[in-house]
């Protein structure tokens, strides 16, 4: 089995082969699958992430959430911790850690207390058991260790799937993995 850094390198090479149009089309397929889920339809609050180039793009998904009257929150990194803040537009975001758009905590209300949200989470690599390799900061694992009642969906392009990934004891497995090609892997527990 490869080391995590090798999986990160492989995925970066594969991402570089996709055009912006392909990324948007594949992201749309993933969004459509999420929108059909009963838990999405029933939830009032969605925690999502602000996409980097090459990741599953969630901007249109957030707009759809707003149109349906759902509360949304996105993360802000502070030291080694991640906190979610509510947003209702992209206007209160600015580049933060790793140049990712983050909410302004002076304007956006803290959402960490909303414990029954549907969380859409990124990752660099996944396997069919839903094990996840992120960017190496451990932010999602630490956050979810403290906030266990969220339903979690990891989103991924098919080329980010591998047969088996290395796991650490602190890694938290998402409830569901949705890709642009396969049906959903996993289930809500």
Instruction: Give the 3-state secondary structure of residue 141.
Output: helix
Contact by Cβ (8 Å): 119, 150: yes
Look at residue 189 and tell me if it is in a domain. Answer: no
Contact by Cβ (8 Å): 85, 108: yes
Tens digit of each residue's pLDDT, the chain (189 residues): 788 889 999 999 999 999 999 999 999 999 999 999 998 999 999 999 999 989 999 999 999 999 999 999 999 999 999 999 999 999 989 998 778 899 999 999 999 999 889 999 999 999 988 999 988 888 999 999 999 899 999 999 999 999 999 887 777 899 999 999 865 555 543
Look at residue 13 and tell me if it is in a domain. Answer: yes
The alpha helices in 43-138, defined as continuous H runs, are: 59-67
CA pair distance 27, 184, nearest whole angstrom: 14
Look at residue 162 and tell me if it is in a domain. Answer: yes
Look at residue 133 and tell me if it is in a domain. Answer: yes
Residues in a beta bridge with 60:
none
Please tell me the pTM assigned to this model.
0.92
Look at residue 47 and tell me if it is in a domain. Answer: yes
Q: CATH number for the domain including 159? A: 3.40.50.10420
Look at residue 186 and tell me if it is in a domain. Answer: no
Q: Which domain holds residue 78?
A: 4-181
Domain count, the chain: 1
């Amino acid at each position: 089995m490869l080391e995590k850094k090798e999986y990160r390198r492989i995925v970066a090479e594969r991402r570089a082969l996709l055009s912006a149009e392909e990324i948007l089309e594949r992201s749309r397929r993933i969004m459509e699958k999420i929108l059909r889920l009963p838990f999405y339809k029933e939830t009032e609050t969605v925690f999502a992430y602000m996409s980097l180039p090459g990741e599953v793009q969630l901007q249109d998904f957030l707009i759809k959430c707003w149109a349906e009257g759902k509360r949304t929150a996105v993360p802000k990194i502070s030291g080694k911790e991640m906190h979610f803040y509510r947003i209702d537009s992209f206007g209160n975001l600015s580049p933060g850690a790793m140049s990712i758009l983050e909410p302004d905590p002076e304007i956006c209300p803290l959402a960490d207390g909303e414990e029954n949200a549907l969380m859409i989470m990124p990752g660099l690599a996944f396997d069919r058991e839903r094990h996840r390799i992120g960017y190496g900061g451990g932010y999602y694992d630490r956050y979810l260790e403290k906030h266990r009642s969220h339903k979690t969906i990891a989103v991924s392009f098919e080329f980010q799937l591998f047969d088996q990934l290395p796991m650490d004891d602190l890694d938290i497995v998402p409830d569901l993995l949705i890709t642009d090609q396969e049906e959903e892997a996993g289930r809500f527990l």
